[in-house]
Amino acid sequence: MSSSPALPNTTALDPAVAARLKRDAHGLVPAIAQQYDTGEVLMMGWMDDEALHRTLTTGRCTYWSRSRAEYWVKGDTSGHLQLVKSVALDCDGDTVLVKVDQVGAACHTGDRTCFDAGQLLITGS
């Protein structure tokens, strides 16, 4: 069920929230997942209205997978769930911040976060 795409206009996302969303040309907004207690930025995914609705109502962070073109309940296959603690929209409605309790690794590589292996710069100050 979690991987079945919603039919157009079948999302039950609160219309008041939907009215605030500024989506890209593909109907998506970037969603930042952050560990709620440590503050680690874990990963970034994409949500359409229905993914946001599912994230708000199921307690499990749900993205739209652009590569697979389907809904993606984080952890459904890996067990590395993201249990939703809070959801916020930014000031211009084009980015979602989801604070979660991440079970295990957020990254498909096994790293805790998707940014662990990609340091480009660390300043001394």
Tell the smallest beta-carbon distance from residue 113 to a copy of itself (Å).
8
Please provide the DSSP assignment of 57-91 as one string: HHSB-EEEETTTTEEEETTTTTS--EEEEEEEE-T
Q: Interface with a copy of itself by CB under 8 A: which residues? A: 17, 20, 25, 30, 32, 34, 38-41, 43-44, 56, 59, 84-95, 97, 107-109, 111, 114-123, 125
Q: In terms of CB distance, is 6 or 44 closer to a copy of itself?
A: 44
124: Cβ–Cβ under 8 A, 6 or more apart, which residues? none
In terms of CB distance, is 71 or 106 closer to a copy of itself? 106
Q: What is the rounded (10 degree) CA torsion for 52, 53, 56, 58?
A: -120
| Least CB distance to a copy of itself at residue 47 (A) | 12
* Nearest residue (CB) to a copy of itself, 7 versus 65: 65
